[in-house]
């Protein structure tokens, strides 16, 4: 899916996204639980693929002294997140492609990415950008879907954990640790499944032959959690970047 196509789909789903985000809520809570024992002093935290901002609010509570930078490709999703922002919040909202982040090298302490990677056809540019913007020993924490997920719905499997780990190391990130949970989702009929997928901008993921059925569906999700550390990698020259600390808050 191209960035333009992804933006269009998520813009269209901004009003319904929260009604069907139960998988994102599950992995968000799983990531936050895995974050608890990790000690890191954070000034700038990027919520990458922030959607409507549910993870950002939890990150504000976890990193009370940090500024949260909510980054998403969809301006409509960011607008929805902004509308739920409390007046005490220090969150700033940034529309950007995850593969072209508008931050300076090593200017970010934590990157949190909850279920962004399943929407990315090639994770390598995203991992390279995360490696570039993270300070040395900064933390990249993410959740994605493993290859056993949605069997029968997808023709192409999600990336294997070993491939994800190798890609992280190639990008210059250090010491990746990955683990897996499993989740079973049951729909009484295909109409309910199509409604949920449509609500989050993923109707195109349901094959036409399944849309035409009327039966109970049960499928497994392989929930992959991972974290790794910044290695201080430098980016290529010739690019203009903005220090994360120069991004102010926008109120609408």
Q: How many Cβ atoms are within 10 Å of 102's Cβ, its own excluded?
A: 17
SS3 34: helix
Instruction: Look at the block and give the residue holding tokens 């036409």.
Output: 208
CA distance 252 to 126: 29
pLDDT digits (tens, 9 = 90+) for 117-161: 999 989 999 999 999 999 999 999 999 999 999 887 776 789 999
Segments in the chain forming alpha helices (H): 3-13, 22-35, 54-62, 75-83, 124-133, 161-170, 190-199, 208-211
Say if residue 28 is exposed, middle or buried (CB neighbours under 10 Å; 0-12, 13-18, 19+): buried
The residue ranges of every structural domain in the chain are 3-183+221-233
CA distance 174 to 165: 10
CB 108 within 8 A of CB 136: no
pLDDT digits (tens, 9 = 90+) for 56-106: 999 999 999 999 999 999 999 999 999 998 888 989 999 999 999 999 999
Phi-psi region of 106 (alpha: psi -120 to 50; beta: other; left: phi over 0): left
CB 204 within 8 A of CB 194: no
CB 111 within 8 A of CB 96: no
In CATH, the number for domain 3-183+221-233 is 3.40.50.150
pLDDT > 90? residue 2? no
pLDDT digits (tens, 9 = 90+) for 175-214: 999 999 999 999 888 888 888 989 998 887 776 666 666 6
Q: How many Cβ atoms are within 10 Å of 50's Cβ, its own excluded?
A: 28
pLDDT digits (tens, 9 = 90+) for 216-247: 788 899 999 999 999 854 444 434 344 555 44
**Cα dihedral sign, 95-120-22-15:** positive
pTM: 0.88
Cβ within 8 Å of residue 193, ≥6 positions away: 187, 206, 210, 217
Helix (H) or strand (E) holding 93: strand 92-95
């Amino acid at each position: 899916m191209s960035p333009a196509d992804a933006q269009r789909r998520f813009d269209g789903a901004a009003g319904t996204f929260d009604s069907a985000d139960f998988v994102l809520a599950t992995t968000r809570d799983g990531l936050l639980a895995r974050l608890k024992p990790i000690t890191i002093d954070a000034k700038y935290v990027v919520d990458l693929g922030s959607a409507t901002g549910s993870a950002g609010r939890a990150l504000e509570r976890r990193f009370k002294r940090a500024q949260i930078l909510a980054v998403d490709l969809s301006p409509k999703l960011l607008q929805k997140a902004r509308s739920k922002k409390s007046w005490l919040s220090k969150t700033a909202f940034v529309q950007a492609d995850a593969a072209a982040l508008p931050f300076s090298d090593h200017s970010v302490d934590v990157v949190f990415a909850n279920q962004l990677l399943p929407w990315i056809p090639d994770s390598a540019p995203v991992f390279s950008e995360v490696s570039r913007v993270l300070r040395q020993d900064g933390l990249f924490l993410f959740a994605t879907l493993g290859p056993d997920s949605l069997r029968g719905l997808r023709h192409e499997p999600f990336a294997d954990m070993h491939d994800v780990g190798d890609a992280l190391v190639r990008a210059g990130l250090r010491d990746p640790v990955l683990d897996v949970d499993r989740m079973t989702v049951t729909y009484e009929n295909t109409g309910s499944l199509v409604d949920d997928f449509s609500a989050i901008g993923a109707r195109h993921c349901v094959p036409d032959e399944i849309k035409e059925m009327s039966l109970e569906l049960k499928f497994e999700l392989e929930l992959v959690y991972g974290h790794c550390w910044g290695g201080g990698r430098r980016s290529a020259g010739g690019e203009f970047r903005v220090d994360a600390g120069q991004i102010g808050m926008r109120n609408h």
